[in-house]
Chain A
């Protein structure tokens, strides 16, 4: 099985750095070998992973105990966390003083385990605590956002910000030098000047592929309240993580554009700005009205260049279903791909019976869950694979 998750890779790299800090000869080449080896093994098996790592990272028999101890401490179960004294205890066994590498990514304040350490700064910066072991992560991945405890939510926020986002491309009308079919006379002539005007080499141009813009329209009404906080984090991570422009809107009874507020390095500050701006948190839901506002005021401005639209809502609509179906049809016509993300889709027994959902279903290109981390990862995968040609499910 291939574990493509960026966070696991991140952990493996951190682990490598820890080993290097403990004096093992772990270089980048080795780490690359290890990471590519991972795709050949059953990553769920801790033993397999252990031996894979050991055979690649340990060169001498004497290093094995040190490796074992580091491995056990690093890839431990949650709760029993790696601490600075722990690390010192291991490194004491080495003759030369251990070099402790700085973390790859500075631990962000909302990560778990940080709180426990705040009091004792004497032990230096927490380094390993920011990383969760994979079993903990696996549990968290599958857990519905609405059932998470405060601490787990914080952990998930951290994981969300680590997700790698990429959106499918579209063929633009711009041409660039390459192996396309368009003849590039300017370069051809330049290239053949050396032959005295005899054209021996042809130069061509090919279409340039560009990122599709992304538009997110999120429901922040009362029924979505349990998800709102995390979804905003998710939207923030999308708009920060993607290269292209991301336009974001939220609605419950009114539509508010929050794209500009989402800029900036600090997620808490950005979300604060958003909360100041939005007048109707956890209000009633009028999806049809919100979409109408979007269609009338914004669609022409933000849906150009083959945009992909993410509509996040549970489909509980108190407005007119008729209006909703008219407006969502219009929305689908004016974008390249309309993806509806519904947190309720995570429940196995869920059927899209809500009136709003019924009205909208015929006009949705993709209907996907958005209730736990695993579903976000799936979405990331899906966005990446969006085809250059439109999907099949289209309205007449």
Chain B
């Protein structure tokens, strides 16, 4: 269960690149350190900049298993860590009764009736493979869950009263993401390496587009990227993320577009802008003028 060695930041960056994830030097550095130091990686950034994707490609780089925990308010131990299988327990009791046997409590609360939820799975891990634990959108959970997570992250062990303490053989690589809809407690962040994923530069975004949607005509890819970069500069309530860029390119490819045209931009604006105010704003700026500016950047 040894991890494939990632010896340097360059190594990692290249490995990520091969898996079509174009990472900044800063991001690659923090991922690298998270692996080397065994610390959780706390990723923040606007929606659609590829936070969750980090965990996914990292799983591939490390040939690991990905265990994902999607957070929501009220997420508790029963859904995050473990739960007893009550129906089975009840049935077990009834069957034993019908056979005239006595049910031992130890038996009833043994591993057989334990349902392992993501955190417990990640701690137990598997013998053969390392584990990447993705705690997604932690800002959607609440303080109670944060406190619980803190406990687990500090010593990678879980105590189940009926069974005992389970300690991780090999601590999982933990990636925590947040959209900042709520300030996550400092105590969590203190234990983590923190990285803010920003919107990429034009060159990097174009690289991403070319990597992810290779079938896109090069003029289209360039223009779309430039257009997105341009409207991110405008004051929008919700600027489009990289995910939107990729969606848009894919949509335009599906519509067999070779380049951006005013009519098609207007018709597909809903792919990248998710607020009516923003759509109005971009339209009022004039799609023609935007496209003019874009065509100059693209060359």
Interface residues, chain A, with chain B CB atoms under 8 Å away: 172-175, 185-186, 188-189, 193, 196-197, 199, 210, 245, 295-296, 300-302, 304-305, 326, 330
Distance, CA A9 to CA B83, complexed state (A) = 50
Residues 219-250 of B, flagged 1 when their CB comes within 8 A of A and 0 if not, give 00000000000000001010000000000000
Distance, CA A295 to CA B105, complexed state (A) = 56
B181 and A173 contact, CB distance less than 8 A: no
B182 and A172 contact, CB distance less than 8 A: no
* Minimum CB–CB distance for B35 against chain A, Å: 29
Given contacts A197-B93, A300-B180, A304-B182, contact A174 B73 (CB under 8 A): yes
Distance, CA A301 to CA B89, complexed state (A) = 44
B237 and A295 contact, CB distance less than 8 A: yes
Given contacts A185-B86, A193-B105, A197-B93, contact A301 B76 (CB under 8 A): no
B86 and A189 contact, CB distance less than 8 A: yes
Interface residues, chain B, with chain A CB atoms under 8 Å away: 72-74, 76, 78, 83-84, 86, 89-90, 93-94, 97, 103, 105, 108, 139, 142, 144, 179-183, 235, 237, 277
Residues of B within 8 A of A300 (CB): 179-181
A197 and B180 contact, CB distance less than 8 A: no
Distance, CA A386 to CA B1, complexed state (A) = 56
B76 and A175 contact, CB distance less than 8 A: yes
Distance, CA A196 to CA B92, complexed state (A) = 12
Residues of A within 8 A of B97 (CB): 196-197
Distance, CA A172 to CA B72, complexed state (A) = 11
Residues of A within 8 A of B105 (CB): 193
Distance, CA A186 to CA B87, complexed state (A) = 11
Given contacts A172-B142, A174-B74, A174-B76, contact A189 B237 (CB under 8 A): no
B144 and A301 contact, CB distance less than 8 A: no
Distance, CA A301 to CA B44, complexed state (A) = 12
11 new A-B contacts at CB < 8 Å, known A197-B103, A296-B237: A172-B142, A174-B74, A175-B74, A186-B78, A193-B105, A197-B90, A197-B97, A296-B235, A304-B139, A326-B277, A330-B277
Name 28 interchain pairs, CB-CB below 8 A, sorted by A.
A172-B74, A172-B142, A173-B74, A174-B74, A174-B76, A174-B144, A175-B76, A185-B86, A186-B84, A186-B86, A188-B86, A189-B84, A189-B86, A189-B90, A196-B93, A197-B90, A197-B94, A197-B97, A199-B90, A245-B183, A300-B179, A301-B180, A301-B182, A304-B139, A304-B181, A304-B182, A305-B182, A330-B277
* Minimum CB–CB distance for A308 against chain B, Å: 15
Residues of B within 8 A of A301 (CB): 180-183
The chain A residue with its CB closest to the CB of B85 is A185
Residues of B within 8 A of A173 (CB): 72-74
* Minimum CB–CB distance for B105 against chain A, Å: 7
Distance, CA A330 to CA B97, complexed state (A) = 63
* Minimum CB–CB distance for A207 against chain B, Å: 8
Distance, CA A302 to CA B180, complexed state (A) = 9
The chain A residue with its CB closest to the CB of B76 is A174
Residues of A within 8 A of B181 (CB): 300-301, 304
Distance, CA A172 to CA B140, complexed state (A) = 12
Distance, CA A175 to CA B83, complexed state (A) = 15
Distance, CA A256 to CA B261, complexed state (A) = 42
B83 and A186 contact, CB distance less than 8 A: yes
Residues of A within 8 A of B83 (CB): 186
Residues of B within 8 A of A295 (CB): 237
Residues of A within 8 A of B139 (CB): 304
* Minimum CB–CB distance for B116 against chain A, Å: 15
A189 and B235 contact, CB distance less than 8 A: no
Distance, CA A330 to CA B103, complexed state (A) = 61
Distance, CA A305 to CA B139, complexed state (A) = 11
A189 and B73 contact, CB distance less than 8 A: no
Distance, CA A172 to CA B235, complexed state (A) = 34
Q: Closest 4 CB pairs between A and B?
A: A173-B74, A197-B93, A174-B74, A173-B73
* Minimum CB–CB distance for A140 against chain B, Å: 37
The chain A residue with its CB closest to the CB of B183 is A301
Distance, CA A301 to CA B74, complexed state (A) = 19
Residues of B within 8 A of A174 (CB): 73-74, 76, 142, 144
The chain A residue with its CB closest to the CB of B275 is A330
Distance, CA A150 to CA B169, complexed state (A) = 67
* Minimum CB–CB distance for A76 against chain B, Å: 48
Contact residue among B73, B90, B108 (Cβ-Cβ distance under 8 Å from A172): B73
* Minimum CB–CB distance for B287 against chain A, Å: 22
Residues of A within 8 A of B108 (CB): 193
